[in-house]
Structure 1
Amino acid sequence: MEVFIKASQFLLSLSLLIVLHELGHFIPAKLFKTRVEKFYLFFDYKFSIFKKKIGDTVYGIGWIPLGGYVKISGMIDESMDTEQLALPPQPWEFRSKPAWQRLIIMLGGVIVNFILGFAIYILILFTWGENYLPNDNVKDGVWVTDSLGYDLGLQTGDKIKSIDGNKVKAFSSLPGEFVNGTSFVIERNGETIEKEVPVDFISKLIERGKGPFISPRIPFVVGGFSDTSVNKESGLKSKDLILAINNTPIKYFDEASEVLEKYKNQEVSLLVKRKKGEETVQVTLDENGKIGVSLGTLPAEDMERLGYYTLETKEYTLAEAIPAGTAKGYKTLTDYIKQLKKVFNPETGAYKGLGGFISIGSIFPSTWSWQSFWSITAFLSIMLGFMNLLPIPALDGGHVVFTLYEMITGRKPSDKFLEYAQITGFVVLMALLLFANANDVIKLFD
């Protein structure tokens, strides 16, 4: 069921983005009286799931969910219809239109993607607002939960002040900022320290797999007992909040290990907090200094009530959401560009994380959430817009480059040159697509 929900969200998001992107080409083409022969969601090699001709255009749904397209008369595109180009140019054809009109037609798709992404972020803030843990509210520093955090140069208790000179607003944004960053500043025991993000940090992060490497420090709450625990009948209960061990105060779970280490195979006294008040419980530690319990969690409202963290909740009017959503969209775009730069730097190892359809589908939640769906769709829309602007001949950006060259020099590239460029770009794109999806397959068996 979880896979079905993820796949449903992915296909809905992909379909929406493809249709609107192609509509961005379709509308200016029609406005400039350019004939559009096909408007397709997905590719229709050999046959279509659905098709219907209205006027000069065949609207349809293909069976290969790798994208979509509009086939514009007189344009060299993925259809590679060279027979049409061998005939004299017709007034309704793309190649007969002025360069400025062709430029607008080619830029239409990415413009729609960017507008859509920014508009969704604006509406998300207007509809749901923001609810997050501010990084500034993590007063006692981070909890380093994995060796990757130590490799980064962090220690439990460090306060992360800035990354690349910028303060980080939400604690949940920290991992992504480390991925994009090159340096960071921490406060440790009252001392300000500047550190560099290791160049191979992304490579190690990919090899390590999922899960956080830093977290807000959390209280020691009993979640349950292990099968081998000798303390099931000790009086310790699930949801107990441990405040002290043998009179040594414990505020966070990470503080407990060092204290417990001193009392291996001994009986210790735990001061615990319950709904009815505080109580003392005697437990016996094993040879590793463990109580034999799993770590539990507290609801956010209890964390706030007990003074651990204060969440930030912000609601937006439409007037407030417009600049805030625009800023969020711009940051999404710039962060994506930073990530892409690292992909093309072999030293970072970021290319190992390049993913295809499985990776994209996996970022959708396993339960249906409209807020998550629209947030991911906004990100994918901006990503799709930027990717299509890359100067690869088979993409919109390649056509834009050739059109700009014509407008600046007054010389139009020959149809034969454009044909060869389209083939080359298509081969490059297929190679990237195969590499990204092969990465996905390899990860499935790791």
Structure 2
Amino acid sequence: MGTITFLLVLSFLVFFHELGHFTAAKFFGVKVEVFSIGFGKRLYAKQWKGTVWQFALIPLGGYVKMKGQDDTKPTLREQGDDSYNNKAPWQRIVILFAGPFANFILAAILYFIIAIAGANSLSPTIGNIQANSPAQKAGIQKGDVILRINNNDIKTWEELGKYIKDSKGALKFHIKRDNKILVKIIKPYISDAQNMFKENIKKRMIGISPAPKIVTIYHDPISAVSYAWDKTVESSKMIFLGVQKLIQGIIPSSEIGGVITIGKVISDASQSSIIALLAITALISVNLGVLNLLPIPALDGGHIMFNIYEIIARRKPSDQVFMFLTLAGWVILASLMLLGIYNDINRLFK
């Protein structure tokens, strides 16, 4: 069942990504010859409105084949107003960007649904308290629920941590304990900590950790839009930073995951709840959008860079350069895929 869920989720994400390219291409009058979910041998195909819609044997991606554009033949030239290579560079950029953009839109839609259905988060309930910390000195106890800091309502542990980190000076905590509301003045201190990439940082803290208690937050449609926007932007920033840290060597290459890891994550989420499955699907959709914008020649981002070069230089890259960089891009992608699979196998044996 987990494998089926994985394939359905991946096919759905690929379809939405390619639908972005397809929609933009049709808008500019480019003929789309093939819309494929999967690679390799064709399993099923149907022609509709000038496009062959097909499912292929290897369901680990997909593509739209436009007239005048073929990554396997990067120097291809085809004549006609409906040819991709005869469109202005800015139009090609829009067509290329539309795929990743569709993934961001899909993620926002999924986050919106999660917000309406009920988003699960850690409750702002105190678990452990560090000895001699500002929280202990102020009389904070295990099980206390933080309702408000200064004039800001606190609904989740994430909000609590963010507000303390970004604050200045002493803070007024409104705390619920045994059905009573208490007010405590706490001045955070600067302490050593680690961020999500395990880098050593300094941040404002009061010396508390959360209790293992989940709270479900239901949003109205207006606040759900804000939630969806914030989560999509936050996820995008996290993935961009992750790529940056990987290039810098801060994140080891052993952390790269392949299709096995993705499949396991999706399978585990599907067994947990529909909300968890929607959340991981949204995150993978953002991941797909961000990674496709990287300036690697075989990806959308690489082709966007070629077109930006054409706008600036007022000429296309030479066929030899275009061919060399495209092949180099495919080598990079294949290497990353093999590394991900190698790491997946290592994790399975461990």
TM-score, normalised to structure 1, is 0.60
Write the mapping of 1:20-419 to structure 2, written as runs, cut at 5 A: 20-44=16-40, 47-77=41-71, 79-80=72-73, 84-85=76-77, 89-134=79-124, 137-138=125-126, 140-141=128-129, 170=157, 192-197=189-194, 201=198, 216=210, 312-346=215-249, 348-364=250-266, 365=268, 367=271, 369-419=273-323
Q: Give the drift of 1:90.
A: 2.7
> Could you tell me how far apart the structure 2 residues matched to 1:12 and 1:336 are?
23
Q: Which amino acid aligns with 1:67?
A: G
Q: Which amino acid aligns with 1:390?
A: L
User: Are positions 1:434 and 2:344 aligned together?
Assistant: no
- For 2:172, the equivalent position in structure 1 comes to none
8 Å contact kept, 2:42–2:55: yes
Q: Give the drift of 1:53.
A: 2.3
User: Are positions 1:10 and 2:3 aligned together?
Assistant: no
Helix, strand or coil for the counterpart of 1:48? strand
User: Are positions 1:444 and 2:348 aligned together?
Assistant: yes
> Could you tell me how far apart the structure 2 residues matched to 1:172 and 1:15 are?
34
Q: Give the drift of 1:66.
A: 2.3
Q: Give the drift of 1:8.
A: 2.3
The percentage of aligned residue pairs carrying the same residue is: 33
Distance change (3 Å), C-alpha of 1:354 and 1:97:
same
Distance change (3 Å), C-alpha of 1:436 and 1:129:
closer
> Could you tell me how far apart the structure 1 residues matched to 2:218 and 2:196 are?
38
Helix, strand or coil for the counterpart of 1:404? helix
> Could you tell me how far apart the structure 2 residues matched to 1:142 and 1:22 are?
51
> What are structure 2's unaligned runs of at least 5 residues?
132-141, 143-153, 166-186, 200-207
Mean alpha-carbon deviation: is it higher for 334-343 or for 380-389? Answer: 334-343
Q: Give the drift of 1:369.
A: 2.4
Q: Deviations over 1:283-317 (max 9, x none)?
A: xxxxxxxxxxxxxxxxx6xxxxxxxxxx5443211
Q: Give the drift of 1:171.
A: 6.3
Distance change (3 Å), C-alpha of 1:19 and 1:29:
same
8 Å contact kept, 2:128–2:209: no
Q: Which amino acid aligns with 1:21?
A: H
Distance change (3 Å), C-alpha of 1:368 and 1:192:
closer
Q: Deviations over 1:263-294 (max 9, x none)?
A: xxxxxxxxxxxxxxxxxxxxxxxxxxxxxxxx
Helix, strand or coil for the counterpart of 1:407? helix
8 Å contact kept, 1:76–1:418: no
> Could you tell me how far apart the structure 2 residues matched to 1:142 and 1:338 are?
31
8 Å contact kept, 1:142–1:217: no
> Could you tell me how far apart the structure 2 residues matched to 1:351 and 1:402 are?
28
Distance change (3 Å), C-alpha of 1:398 and 1:81:
closer
> Could you tell me how far apart the structure 1 residues matched to 2:309 and 2:158 are?
45
RMSD between aligned residues = 3.3
- For 1:244, the equivalent position in structure 2 comes to none
Distance change (3 Å), C-alpha of 1:353 and 1:33:
same
> Could you tell me how far apart the structure 1 residues matched to 2:54 and 2:240 are?
33
Q: Give the drift of 1:58.
A: 1.5
Q: Give the drift of 1:342.
A: 2.0
- For 2:177, the equivalent position in structure 1 comes to none
8 Å contact kept, 1:393–1:399: yes
Q: Deviations over 1:48-79 (max 9, x none)?
A: 111122343211111112210011111141x3
Distance change (3 Å), C-alpha of 1:196 and 1:171:
closer
Helix, strand or coil for the counterpart of 1:367? helix
Q: Give the drift of 1:329.
A: 1.4
> What are structure 1's unaligned runs of at least 5 residues?
144-156, 158-166, 182-189, 203-213, 219-299, 301-310
